[in-house]
Structure 1
Amino acid sequence: MSNSSVNQSMLAAWLSLISNVALTLLKLIVGVLFNSQVLIADGIHNAGDVIASATALGSMRISAIPPDEDHPYGHGKAEVLGASMVAVILLLAALYIGYHSVMLLFEAPSQPHVIALLAAAVSLVWKLLLYIYTMRIGREANSKGLIATAQDHLADVYASGAAFLGIGLGLIGEYYGYGLLAYGDPLAGIVVALLILKLAYSTGRESIDILMEKAVHPEKIEAYTAVLTAMPEVKRIDRIRAREHGHYIVVDVRIGVDASLTIQQGHDISRLMKKNIMHSDAQVTEVLVHLNPWYADEQQEAAMVISSDARER
């Protein structure tokens, strides 16, 4: 990750943290002053987001540390651990909102207020803009921690949308005398809880896949294979593997080259392979190359086998 990408990612993380603190205070203060249970619940949810944002920020700072003697492959997986913690917080938030919404169905609805509606609207717009901005920076930098933070913002968009809808329905019901509309808030909260559960699952699953060293998408393997096949020095590809290590990728290849080459020539070919693969994919920061001997008669024997099979047919 370039210094520019690191700076942009850190700025987005700090904006997320500061915004979550401000929105938590806004929702809790307005919720208590105007007796809006949905805003109080959303404010408590936002307090969890403060922890999630702080976790993501800390993990991103660690992942930006260059490789050292104890961590020769870098610290990229710190972001993945941070994303895992964000997924857990999303799960807890979904369970809390779902439980709170169900309980509200069995209680007398609170009286809605326009100020509470405005606070929910501010949160909705603010979080939507944060989601768009954070997700764009996260994808550009391939930052798992920042992408998880963006998913957390999206969960808040759902929650604030439900709060806005619930308070709005309550105001409409109060104005026109439709008492049942006051229960639109908890019903919307239940739907939101299910949406946040889905976000928690997708975020957690991706983090676990990376921590378990899951291979990258087959399309990337095919792209690396094409790069190596285009090199005349490569006579045979014995194995090629790649895995994500946070915001970067590590590639591992075993290649057959002419057995008559000197050690220096083999070294130069290895460096050229690394350069070509890293040039083809900016996410690749490490290429491990193992050279195997290849003999010209291998190609002749292979051609003879193919020819023999064709005659038998």
Structure 2
Amino acid sequence: MNEKTKVARLSIASNTILTLGKLGIGISMNSVSVISEAIHSGLDLLAAILSFLSVRESAKPADERHQYGHGKFENLASIIEALLILAAAGMIIYNAYPKLFRSAEVHALGLGTVVMGISAAVNFFVSRKLMQVARKTESPALAADAWHLRTDVYTSLGVLAGIVAIKLTGLTIIDPIIAIAVALLIVKAGIDLIRDSMHSILDVNLPEEDEGIIRDILREHSSSFVEFHKLRTRKAGSQRYVDLHLVVPSEWAINKVHTLCDHIEADIKARLKGALVLIHTEPCAMQCRECSQADEEKKRSIKCEPVQGAPTTCRFGPEK
């Protein structure tokens, strides 16, 4: 069992216990805010199950039907988890809104305080562990699960504050107000998750920092090719995809071009975890005499400028 699967199972176990505990205590207290937290934890449980299934599926190697791998299963799971969060928020508001206009007694405030405190502590520990593994493995499904639980920490603390406020003031209207505030926090978390996951589903390019690393690596090898263009990047799950066109001297043998591409690919993979690199090579169309006349020693001695765009003179000819 790999690290991602282990931590996903931990999330399932903790959410199962918290959901059952909150639901039983919320019903006994007649507290809509505690019941709303039980609903939230129930959706977190479903999200944890989806996260577990998606990380297990995404770990499978590419096959005949999924030739680019299974990374996007994690992005799909993140979107489904976010939609479940929004559904939970709607249910909470639906149940809490009528209680703004009619009072309802809330019982066993001390018990509610205990369960909310335990919930916040457990979810903080599990969400921190999930986030550590998500960052290490760049797993969007685990990151979504971690944010669910981190939101649950904040909302549990909010409900805890509401219970204390009711105990001090006797104003039961605080209960539905807290529940609606919880729902609004959940809505924000859901929208953020959908936005982030859609970037990968729609093949948005890698962050500027990642593309900058790729361009820096190409500049390091710039003395060995004429120019590059059509750099394209995208991400699926934790996998990065990079493809580009590389222009090389037309006189070069295929094995020499292949070796150059191997070196570039190896450098990109070393600095961008999970990168899959595809390089399409093209012969230089300028067909300069200097290319065929230059010897290997002189080619290595030429100091090249950053290369983007067609060169005005052949950089592989004899030094003047």
Judge same fold: TM > 0.5, yes or no: yes
Q: Name the counterpart of 2:235.
A: 244
Q: Superposition RMSD on alpha carbons, in Å?
A: 2.0
- The aligned runs of 1:52-131 (5 Å cut-off) are 52-113=47-108, 114-131=110-127
Task: Tell whether the 8 Å contact from 2:32 to 2:95 is kept in structure 1 after alignment.
Answer: no
Task: Tell whether the 8 Å contact from 1:155 to 1:199 is kept in structure 2 after alignment.
Answer: yes
Alignment of 1:202 onto 2:186: no
Q: Give the Cα–Cα distance (whole angstroms) in 1 for the partners of residues 186 and 36 of structure 2.
A: 15
Question: Which of 17, 30, 39 is the aligned partner of 1:22?
Answer: 17
Q: Report the CA distance between 1:53 and its aligned residue.
A: 0.8
Q: Which amino acid aligns with 2:281?
A: L
SS in 1 for 2:2: helix
Task: Tell whether the 8 Å contact from 1:228 to 1:234 is kept in structure 2 after alignment.
Answer: no
Q: Name the counterpart of 2:266.
A: 275
- The aligned runs of 1:1-313 (5 Å cut-off) are 7-113=2-108, 114-173=110-169, 179-180=170-171, 182-231=172-221, 232-284=223-275, 286-294=276-284, 295=286, 297=288, 302-303=311-312
Q: Report the CA distance between 1:266 and its aligned residue.
A: 1.7
Change (3 A) 1:94 1:257: same
Q: Give the Cα–Cα distance (whole angstroms) in 2 for the partners of residues 16 and 299 of structure 1.
A: 64
Q: Report the CA distance between 1:190 and its aligned residue.
A: 2.0
Deviations 1:31-80 (A, max 9, x none): 22333332222212222222111111101100000112222211000000
SS in 2 for 1:139: helix
Q: Which runs of 5+ in 1 are unaligned?
A: 1-5, 174-178, 305-313
Matched-pair identity in %: 28
Q: Report the CA distance between 1:261 and its aligned residue.
A: 1.0
TM-score under structure 1 length normalisation = 0.87
TM-score under structure 2 length normalisation = 0.86
Q: Which amino acid aligns with 2:43?
A: G
Q: Give the Cα–Cα distance (whole angstroms) in 1 for the partners of residues 29 and 182 of structure 2.
A: 23
Q: Give the Cα–Cα distance (whole angstroms) in 2 for the partners of residues 156 and 198 of structure 1.
A: 13
Change (3 A) 1:31 1:257: same
Q: Report the CA distance between 1:296 and its aligned residue.
A: 6.1
Task: Tell whether the 8 Å contact from 1:112 to 1:171 is kept in structure 2 after alignment.
Answer: no
Deviations 1:282-313 (A, max 9, x none): 231x1011001124639999447xxxxxxxxx
Task: Tell whether the 8 Å contact from 1:37 to 1:110 is kept in structure 2 after alignment.
Answer: no
Q: Give the Cα–Cα distance (whole angstroms) in 2 for the partners of residues 250 and 70 of structure 1.
A: 18
Q: Which runs of 5+ in 2 are unaligned?
A: 292-309, 314-320
Task: Tell whether the 8 Å contact from 1:221 to 1:241 is kept in structure 2 after alignment.
Answer: no
Q: Which amino acid aligns with 1:252?
A: D
Q: Report the CA distance between 1:208 and its aligned residue.
A: 1.1
Q: Give the Cα–Cα distance (whole angstroms) in 2 for the partners of residues 279 and 298 of structure 1.
A: 37
Task: Tell whether the 8 Å contact from 1:233 to 1:258 is kept in structure 2 after alignment.
Answer: no
Task: Tell whether the 8 Å contact from 1:165 to 1:185 is kept in structure 2 after alignment.
Answer: no
Change (3 A) 1:267 1:118: same
Q: Give the Cα–Cα distance (whole angstroms) in 2 for the partners of residues 38 and 221 of structure 1.
A: 46
Change (3 A) 1:302 1:117: closer
Q: Which amino acid aligns with 1:234?
A: F
Q: Report the CA distance between 1:139 and its aligned residue.
A: 1.1
Q: Which amino acid aligns with 2:262?
A: R
SS in 2 for 1:282: coil
SS in 2 for 1:253: strand
